Amino acid sequence: MSRVLLFGRLRDLAGWRERQIEPSPRTLAELRARLAHEDKALGEALAHPSVRIAVDQQIAVGEVVLGEASEIAFMPPMSGG
């Protein structure tokens, strides 16, 4: 099981902040495709290059094999405090 987190405007767009995904996706691409299948607008927003991704709280770059990862966060541009 994987925990998916959305921040900022992504949370508003999706209408949720956090959810469990089962079975765990094997790759980031698979996770994106599954979310996009349910919600096309969210899928497009998640694919935007300005959205950064953290896998188990480490910034991930490019295509990622999730393996045993338990937490995947999608982060729109950070605003600062």
Partner 1 sequence: MAVRLQDEPFDPAALLAGFGKGPETGAVVSFSGVCRAEGGTLEALELEAYPGFTDREIGEMAEAARKRFDLHDLLIVHRTGRIAPGEAIVFVATAAAHRREAFEAADQLMDYLKSRAPFWKKAHGADGGRWIEPRLEDYEDAARWDAPQERPV
Find the part of the chain contacting partner 1 (CB under 8 A) among 7-15, 25-33, 39-47, 62-70.
7-15
CA-CA-CA-CA torsion for 41, 21, 64, 26, nearest 10 degrees? -120
Work out which of 9, 19, 34, 40 binds partner 1, going by CB under 8 A.
Answer: 9
Q: Is 28 in the site for partner 1 (CB under 8 A)?
A: no
CA–CA distances in Å: residue 69 to residues 12, 16, 47, 74: 25, 21, 20, 14
Q: How many CB atoms lie within 10 A of CB 57?
A: 8
Work out which of 3, 5, 24, 30 binds partner 1, going by CB under 8 A.
Answer: 5
For residues 8 and 43, which CB has a smaller minimum distance to partner 1 in the complex? 8
Which residues make up the interface to partner 1 (CB under 8 A)? 5, 7-9, 11-12, 54, 57, 73, 75-81
